[in-house]
Amino acid sequence: MYIKCRGLVIKQSDSGEKGKILTILTENRGVIYAKAAGGKNVGAGYFRCCQLFTYSEFHFYSGYNPGVLTILDAVYNRSFFELSKDIERFSLASYCAELCKISLVGNSDDTEVFRLLLNTFHTLEKEDYPLDHVKAVFEVRLGTLLGIAPYINECDCCGKDLPSDEAFTYFDIDTSCVRCGSCKPKIKSRGPVLLMPAGVYRSMLFVINAEKHNIFKFKTDEDTLNIFADISEKYLLRRLEYVPKSLPLYKSFKYACLPKGQEDEQV
């Protein structure tokens, strides 16, 4: 059987002297594992398409082993190779790709998740947002596309509209819901319940509802971003029940940049 689809190479490994095995996140077929017989051969017609973080249209053949397809040909579209020149951006791109890979099962909307990853890679490569901003937006939007968006319209206990001027707003990591200060002591949560300042609330609401090309286009101050990033990461990883292997690498660069003595406060 022959298959044609667009996809982004998110992992590569050697296969023999000249070949590669690629993990490709596709536009509408989820994750595909494919063998590229001449993937390491510069003279191969599809050599450029077999590089990490390259987006192409692939032509596959599915033989007796449907788990691993064979690449027959590929048409290059664009590369995010620039990301690999900055190890911090590269580690964040790897984190986002890994989350997409483990999310694309069942009935999730593959095309939108694929577009989100391309948009995030483009933003990482071309824009100058703080990396935690890009990461937090990606996390909240991915959760939204997967149908597990945070529910932040009202207190999950008393129904009070939040945020309100009279009450602090808290975010329950275990349930992905918000809670007012009065109700917080009444409910025993199975996870952390974190204070959610109004700026963090507005950021999360914006990312959930924004038009897809505008999701990154807002600004926060540093304190707001730190809390937004913390809540977004804890929320998504809790819902997915998965800690990406690439996360510690990204964190290691973040903590390496902190002034001495502040490392512990960020844990």
The tokens for 190 are 């199975």
**In the structure, how many helices (H) and strands (E) does the chain have?**
6, 8
**Nearer to Zn ion (CB atom), residue 3 or residue 183:** 183
Q: Which stretch binds Zn ion (CB under 5 A): 23-31, 42-50, 179-187, 236-244?
A: 179-187
Cα three-residue angle 208-209-213, rounded to 5 degrees: 95
Site string for Zn ion, 183-222 (x = CB under 5 A): x---------------------------------------
**Nearer to Zn ion (CB atom), residue 158 or residue 258:** 158
Burial class of residue 135 (count of CB atoms within 10 Å of its CB; 0-12, 13-18, 19+): buried
DSSP E strand boundaries for the chain: 2-15, 19-26, 31-36, 54-61, 69-79, 169-172, 177-180, 193-195
**Nearer to Zn ion (CB atom), residue 183 or residue 240:** 183
The answer to the question of residue 93 lying near Zn ion (CB under 5 A) is no
d(CA 124, CA 96): 11
Query: Using the rule CB under 5 A, which residue among 50, 69, 71, 180 binds Zn ion?
Result: 180
The answer to the question of residue 69 lying near Zn ion (CB under 5 A) is no
The answer to the question of residue 87 lying near Zn ion (CB under 5 A) is no
The tokens for 35 are 């063998």
The answer to the question of residue 158 lying near Zn ion (CB under 5 A) is yes
> Which residues in this chain contact Zn ion in the complex, by CB under 5 A?
155, 157-158, 160, 180, 183
